[in-house]
Structure 1
Amino acid sequence: MQVGTRGSSLAMVQTKNIITSLRDITNEEIGIKIIKTTGDKIKDSQLYNIDVKGIFTKELDRAVLDEEVDFAVHSLKDLPSELNDDLDILAVPCRESPKDALISPYKWDDLPDGAVFGTSSLRREAFCKYHQKNLDIQPIRGNIETRIRKVETGEYHATLMAEAGLKRLGLNEHIQQNFSLDYITPAAGQGALAVVARKDTKKRKLLEALTHKASYQEVMAEKKVLEELGVGCQWPLGVCARANGDALELQSILLSKEGELISKHNIKGSISQAESIGLEVAKRMMEDC
């Protein structure tokens, strides 16, 4: 069995974690094929200025469709809102923290006026403006280790990253602080992984066994908001669902690029109705736009 993945240190750790879980339920040999994506090749542009759907997933999807690999492992927030008709998310393993984390020698409230803040995320940029931070926002690219190094060497005073990736790489010591889901609401699917395969794969039952049900329902609610709004990376949307037993709470906030509040909603309901909750939140947000 072959698994496709990007070649970054985070992608490799995430893929190896999936392989470890699979080895608990099968004796089948599992090989790794590293596939370079469009997003890996572009180093000098803000991600939201690149008009390419599935910038970090398209080449992996093609490898799965062409049966070069049996499945691919993605950071779920990288997936486009709509998959190819012949592909399916077969598993969402247990989710790591969806929160954003600050990498900086300063606490958030102590960042000096005009501090150079690095981000290639329109959402994070808009949240800085929403919270009226007087920062010099500049693009920053590179893998997690590269971005941390750019802060440590003083090229930037601060940046925000997904707490999940830092934890998976054992880089927790670089986290200055994390943020509540209400203060900086994360991107849909942040902290979650997706195992994507062909719909007709013979490995379906094996891969489906990796799913953590609560995590799956959370991200399905979030993806439904993204799918209905159709905003992708082009608008600053934060959306996060959290399961608690049989209940699920979904919060979503849409900002303008200037950091002005356009819409904010929070709905609670049954976890079994996750996608319906996402649909209702999206409906209310569209009425505000």
Structure 2
Amino acid sequence: MTSVVSTSLRTIRIGSRKSQLALVQTYWVRDQLQKCFPDMKFEVHTMSTQGDKILDVALAKIGDKGLFTKELEVGMLNGEIDFAVHSLKDLPTKLPDGLTLAAITERENPADALVVHEKFKDYQLETLPPGTVVGTSSLRRLAQLRHHFPHLEFKDVRGNLNTRLAKLDAGEYDVLILAVAGLERLGMGDRIHQAIPSEFSLHAVGQGALGIECRADDDDLIAMLKEAIEHSETRDRCLAERAFLRDLEGGCQVPIGVTSTIDGETLTLSGIVASVDGQKLVKDTVSGPAIAAESLGTQLAHSLREQGAQAILNEIFAEIQR
């Protein structure tokens, strides 16, 4: 590949969380950049975020704005690192002044996954018996599954992927709901018992994609990132999803789910807002030019608001603040 970027030789410092999944994702980004720019040097620097340190409290109770990103963002603004690799679903839709979402990678399967204890291997999500204990730390998953399967029991689960799977295998949970993409990136695709259909659980905004955040004035680096790893279709889908979430002012711990597709030049975006107890759920779909991705996200947010989404969100925000 002939580079379109002209830049003096420099060492690029990449910021990452310390979790196994974060490092797998970050080293993948580093390797893509190294292939594209073999004469440059790329170093990985790890940091612990608040979300990595607090493991005994439900995410919704400790606030989610920048829970897994703030320390990395401070590192960029202080000049300690040049860019950070995030699971895009963890990156807030409003970034600190001076930082920008520079590139979005090609999306892996964004679906949620059903992972089961051995004794539940003969069941699918829709056939799980009453009282099955389902582990999830996501209000989005919780609200949707409560709506469709009120006969199941739900229990919060925290910790990294290996910790959660160990708890499942020890019998603390009957099944877990995790992300297909995370399991596949860690070589644990064999643990996916079922990729959950979107009719039961719309995925998180940005799920399955990586978001690369860097200083907004680092033009050379932004150009490098776009050349080496940006995926235009995923970018348009995720920008629509993030605009939808931003307009509703919901973070990753608010029951907001999406799904998106691009067919030719047309982007189709579906979204839901649900109450935590699953009793209320509003859903709609919009379609339009992919080039107007963010406008479509805003349009969908306004449509759901008119159908009662704002009242649902107000109740959730009030409950979280208690």
Bucket of the pairwise TM-score, normalised by the shorter protein: over 0.9
Counterpart secondary structure, 2:141? helix
Q: Could you give the per-residue CA deviations for residues 16-68 of structure 1, whole angstroms, max 9, x where no partner exists? A: 11011101211211111110000000010111111241100000111111110
- 1: CA distance, partners of 2:253 / 2:185: 28
- Of the three residues 4, 16, 19, the one matched with 1:8 is 19
Distance 2:73 2:259 in 1: 25
Moved more, 43-52 or 104-113: 104-113
Distance of 2:197 and 2:264 partners within structure 1: 21
2:242 maps to amino acid: K
Partner of 2:286: 267
Q: CA deviation at 1:235?
A: 2.8
Partner of 1:20: 31
Aligned with residue 241 of structure 1, among 260, 278, 281: 260
Aligned equivalent of 1:208, options 215, 226, 231: 226
Residue 75 of structure 2 corresponds to 63
Partner of 1:285: 304
How far is 1:176 from its partner? 0.7
1:182 CA drift (Å): 3.0
- Indicate conservation of the 8 Å contact 1:95/1:191, yes or no: yes
Question: Which of 115, 121, 125 matches 1:103?
Answer: 115
- 1:41 has 2:58 as partner: no
SS in 1 for 2:28: helix
2:8 equivalent in structure 1: none
For residue 257 of structure 1, report the CA deviation from its aligned partner: 1.0
Distance 1:58 1:157, change over 3 A: same
Cα contact 1:262–1:288 (8 A) shared by 2? no
User: Partners in 2 of 1:96 and 1:67 — Cα distance?
Assistant: 31
2:164 to 144, 147, 155: 147
CA distance in 2: counterparts of 1:155 and 1:285, whole angstroms: 37
Equivalent-residue separation in structure 2 for 1:109 and 1:182 (angstroms): 11
List alignment gaps of at least 5 residues for structure 1. none
1:181 pairs with 2:192 = no
Q: More helix by proportion, 1 or 2?
A: 2
What amino acid is the match of 1:88?
Answer: T
Q: CA deviation at 1:245?
A: 2.6
Contact 2:205 2:245 survives alignment (8 Å): yes
What is the aligned-residue RMSD (CA, Å)? 1.2
Structure 2 counterparts to residues 246-261 of structure 1, below 5 A: 246-261=265-280
Distance (whole Å) between structure 1 residues aligned to residue 136 and residue 149 of structure 2:
16
Give the conservation status (yes or no) of the 8 Å contact 2:145–2:200. no
Cα-to-partner distance string for 1:111-148 (whole Å, 9 max, x where unaligned):
22212211111111111211124222111011112111
After TM superposition, where is structure 1 displaced by more than 6 Å over at least 4 residues in a row? none
Conserved 8 A contact 1:46-1:121: no
User: In the aligned structure 1, how far is the partner of 2:197 from the partner of 2:240?
Assistant: 19
Q: Residue 203 of structure 1 aligns to which amino acid in structure 2?
A: L
| Structure 2: distance between partners of 1:243 and 1:11 | 28
- Structure 2 Cα separation of the partners of residues 249 and 113 of structure 1: 35
Once the 2 structures are TM-superposed, how far is the Cα of residue 234 of structure 1 from its aligned partner? 4.7
Matches within 5 A, 1:113-152: 113-152=130-169
Give deviations 1:228-272, integer Å, cap 9, x for gaps: 000214531101222223221100011111102332111121111
Q: Provide the rounded CA distance (Å) in 2 between the counterparts of 1:176 and 1:111.
A: 13
Q: One-letter code of the match for 1:216?
A: R
Q: How does the TM-score come out when normalised to structure 1?
A: 0.97
Q: What TM-score comes out, normalization by structure 2 length?
A: 0.87
Gaps (5+ residues) in structure 2? Answer: 1-11, 309-322
Deviation at 1:196, TM superposition (A): 0.5
Query: Does the alignment pair 1:92 with 2:86?
Result: no
Identical residues among aligned pairs (%): 39
